[in-house]
Amino acid sequence: MYLKLSIRNAKRSFTDYLLYVVTMTVLLAIMEISNCIAIMGESADFQTISLPLLITIIQAILVGYIDDFILRQRAKEFANYLLLGMNKKKLTNLFLCEILLIGLLCFLIGTTIGFFVYGLSCLNAILHEIKLYAFLYGKSILYTFFCFCLVEIIGAFSLKKRLEKLQIRELMYEKNRNQGMKKKENYKKWGIAFVFSFVCMIGFVCGIVFLPEDHIVYVVSFVIIPLLVSIYTFYKWIFSYLYTYRKTKSVNLYQKNRLYVMASLTSNFKTTAIINVVFCVCFLFSVSSFFAGMLMLQPEIQLFDTDLQQWMGTAQICICIVFAIIYFSILSLQQIIELRQDSKNNQILRWIGKSDRQIVILVNRIIAIRLTFPMTMALIIFLFCIPLLNVKMNSILPITMHNIIWGFAGEFCLCTLFIYLCYFLVVSTMSKQYIKSIK
Amino acid sequence: MNQNKIGAFISERRKAKGWTQNQLAEKLGITDKAISKWETGRSMPDLALFIPLCGLLEITLNELFAGECIPDENIKEKADEVLMEVITNWLGNDKGKLKADEVTQKNVLEVQNISKIYETEGNSVLAVNDVSFQVAQGRFVGIMGASGSGKTTLLNLIATIDKPTNGIIRIGGQNIVDIAEEDTANFRREHLGFVFQEYNLLETLTIYENIALALTVKETPKESIGQIIQNISEKLDISAVLDKFPYEVSGGQRQRCACARAIAVKPDIILADEPTGALDSHSAKQLLSVFVMLCKEYNATILMVTHDVMAASYCDRILFMQDGEIKATLNREQKNKQTFFADILKRMEWIEGESHDVFEIVNS
């Protein structure tokens, strides 16, 4: 009976699982592509294994977040199973099996799509022999499966721990739970940590620009540490600050839509901060890959063999697109699903006197903020780093190519704006239709 | 009756006997937690336990209710005092007073010949049939009826959530039937307040913020919001939970927060749909007392849909609905709550009897 109940409820929770399925499939497809690139790079004596590793880390964090999201949506149902007399261990196992089965399905679809896309892009360029093709397929699937297992194990372990901790009463209210902060001053500590790490990061970038060539290698190797720390501390600081500001009940908050927007941003501010860090990293990699790819595609720059450089440049642009897709697709899907989960909120807003048009404007504002927020820190970093990197590139490149970095930055901004507007329009239109359909 | 005083008295007598809470609990066949609750004034003993408890503690029932030992010379006087207090607690001492200026109070709500027909695949259902009534400002009016009698449909029509097929509804003199769809939100914001059975609070906002949100939607000056919330929360006894989220407080507190949200924006009329439906009897009584207080002190006008006779007994006037029509009305006038309660039961019995008679005629 429990199994039947569970399957029926899983079907009903299709919208909750949609985020999981899409995220898993997209990331596994990307992982498969990156594994193919890594294997091919390996054969050409390039070290590109860091890319699938990075995607694994991103996937592990995102899967953790989505598992938590699904758990919250279904917590009341689980509490009912336990009240009916189901053993908690059995319930946990059932839920984990459900997640794993869906994960396996995503793995099959994701890897097939990934390999197909990679095969299409490289069919004429490198893979001439069917034997090599089979070898690449086998090896990349094996690598992807290994990463997938790692992600699933981490996700299952944290989910199991969380389910074991939650009592029936807590499960009943889990969906409505909001995150809080014990000490109001915590945001100051995060602020100090952010300023310190950001200054360190700028220092490292200055080192890359101004230090002699033989010292640069050390600075380049370690710049990633202050970079990641500054992103992490920035989001922890900004969300802790917003939460604390909300708690002070400042009068400035009680006008227009500020209170509602602030509440929607800070109700789960700890998780939101982590998710913003992940998406910020995605965006940052997208920008970096764009710059690297564009530089390699310049015929005036000759670092490697022309064909190889062309291939590497294209690969970097592909990575840029991949991270941009991860960023915008998953964030957009998250907005659509959350809007459906919170449909009751719109009904309440209607009762207290908001018209459909006003609700649509409010929802659009929240969508715009949520799509923009993760890229904010990446943009701040680039605002500081691009002038410095431009100086460096000007010292290396011929005079005809001076200020090329600014040109790339402009192109990237335009592309991002275009993609942003496309995704925003899609999410906004879907939200508008949904709001009008639910009355 | 002072519950704390009674608790302290039980504790004193128990200690005089040299018993622990556990020992007394064993003698009464209950848990020691119950004894602890009595002694701290959190609850009263069950009716069946009064006599055994008095017997064990060697006190009279009068002394238990008085919360002190009564000397023999004062026994008669004190016994009468205690008895009066018990009766007052049980029945309440309120008298339904007709407001002096009731005659001159203007009508906030006027419903004239309202009908609502739902068309479904060739079938038409008459949910509300030619209903007319008025509600004056500051009155607490109840709509009673069985499930499917059309009371919630009528409330939805008044709430601008649905449009009537025929008739006129005026709120504050404005005919809401003519209001364009896009202006209904504006009308709700300016003129209506809602209290629902399921509270309908935003779970991402604290109790304070839930009230504040309604005020910001109504564009109340931001500087006065804090003071408004402070005042209303004190009146409704929710000051202590203002910073909590809805899921962290009891159902009664949540519903009082919904009331605070509704009254804070000073609407012309508050529409309450089964507001006591999800509450225990104590919380329900608290909420209904709040409604009465809002009418008296804030001159609020409340229209409440209910099928609970106890809840209806707090109203000034009851409209009884059956098959989409108002079958009868009952005014409280100067009756106290108990008499009004009995009148409601009688009227319900009469309505049911009438419908049975109709059935009998049809069947025969």
What's the CATH number where B343 sits? 3.40.50.300
Percent of chain A with pLDDT over 70: 92
Q: Is the pLDDT of residue B94 over 60?
A: no
Interface of A with B (CB under 8 A): 173, 175-178, 247, 249, 251-252, 254-260, 263-264, 267, 344-345, 347-358
Please compute Rg for chain A using Cα positions: 24
Q: Is the pLDDT of residue A253 over 80?
A: yes
Residues from chain A that touch B219, judged by Cβ atoms under 8 A, are 255
Half-sphere exposure of B343 (CA within 13 A, CB side): 22
Specify the 3-state DSSP secondary structure of B18.
Answer: coil
Q: Is residue B102 part of a domain?
A: no
Examine the domain organization and report whether B154 and B297 are in the same domain: yes
B201 contacts chain A (CB < 8 A): yes
B180 contacts chain A (CB < 8 A): no
B84 pLDDT band, cuts 50/70/90, is low
Q: Is residue B194 part of a domain?
A: yes
Residues from chain A that touch B203, judged by Cβ atoms under 8 A, are 175-176, 178
**Tens-digit pLDDT profile for residues A201-227:** 999 999 988 888 877 878 887 888 999
CB contact under 8 A, B246 and A348: no
**Tens-digit pLDDT profile for residues B171-212:** 988 899 888 877 888 899 889 999 988 888 998 899 999 999
Best CA proximity match to A63, nearest among A153, A192, A182: A153
Chain A contact probe: residue of B194, B211, B222 with most A CBs at under 10 A = B222
The edge-to-edge listing of strands for the beta sheet with B107-120 is B123-136, B107-120, B166-171, B174-175
B223 contacts chain A (CB < 8 A): yes
Examine the domain organization and report whether A290 and A412 are in the same domain: yes
Q: From residue A270, how far is each of A184, A239, B241 by CA, in Å?
A: 14, 7, 23
Of B201, B209, B245, the CB nearest to A259: B209
CB contact under 8 A, A254 and B204: no
Q: Is residue A42 part of a domain?
A: yes
Closest residue of chain A to B221, computed from CA coordinates: A255
Residues from chain A that touch B245, judged by Cβ atoms under 8 A, are 176, 178
CB contact under 8 A, A259 and B213: yes
Q: Which of B91, B120, B155 delimits the end of a domain?
A: B91
Closest residue of chain A to B212, computed from CA coordinates: A254
Of A249, A257, A351, the CB nearest to B226: A249
B272 contacts chain A (CB < 8 A): no
Structural domain that includes position B115: 107-362
**Tens-digit pLDDT profile for residues A410-439:** 999 999 999 999 999 999 999 998 888 876
Examine the domain organization and report whether B118 and B73 are in the same domain: no
Domains held by chain A: number: 2
B214 contacts chain A (CB < 8 A): yes
pLDDT value at residue A425: 95
Q: Is residue B149 part of a domain?
A: yes
pLDDT value at residue B87: 59
CB contact under 8 A, B216 and A354: no
pLDDT value at residue B362: 46
Residues from chain A that touch B210, judged by Cβ atoms under 8 A, are none
Best CA proximity match to A207, nearest among A433, A342, A389: A389
Distance from CA of B205 to the nearest CA of A (A): 6
**Tens-digit pLDDT profile for residues A307-341:** 878 878 887 888 888 889 889 988 998 888 888 87
CATH number at residue B73: 1.10.260.40
Residues from chain A that touch B222, judged by Cβ atoms under 8 A, are 251-252, 254-255
Would you say how long chain A is, in residues? 439
Q: Is the pLDDT of residue B242 over 90?
A: yes
pLDDT value at residue A35: 84
pLDDT value at residue B364: 46
B261 contacts chain A (CB < 8 A): yes
Structural domain that includes position A354: 210-216+236-439
Distance CA B313, CA B337 (A): 6
Q: Is residue A381 part of a domain?
A: yes
Examine the domain organization and report whether A166 and A240 are in the same domain: no
Examine the domain organization and report whether B76 and B50 are in the same domain: yes
Helix axes of B207-217 and A258-266: crossing angle, nearest 10 degrees: 150
CB contact under 8 A, A176 and B245: yes
Best CA proximity match to A284, nearest among A312, A311, A319: A319
Examine the domain organization and report whether A164 and A289 are in the same domain: no
CB contact under 8 A, A178 and B245: yes
Examine the domain organization and report whether B313 and B215 are in the same domain: yes
Examine the domain organization and report whether B123 and B86 are in the same domain: no
Percent of chain B with pLDDT over 90: 33
Domains held by chain B: number: 2
Distance CA A142, CA A118 (A): 16
Examine the domain organization and report whether B308 and B246 are in the same domain: yes
Residue found under tokens 């100090």: A192
Residues from chain A that touch B249, judged by Cβ atoms under 8 A, are none
Q: Is residue B99 part of a domain?
A: no
Q: Is the pLDDT of residue B100 over 70?
A: no
Q: Which of B61, B91, B121 delimits the end of a domain?
A: B91
**Tens-digit pLDDT profile for residues B313-361:** 999 999 999 889 998 899 988 788 788 888 888 888 888 776 655 445 4
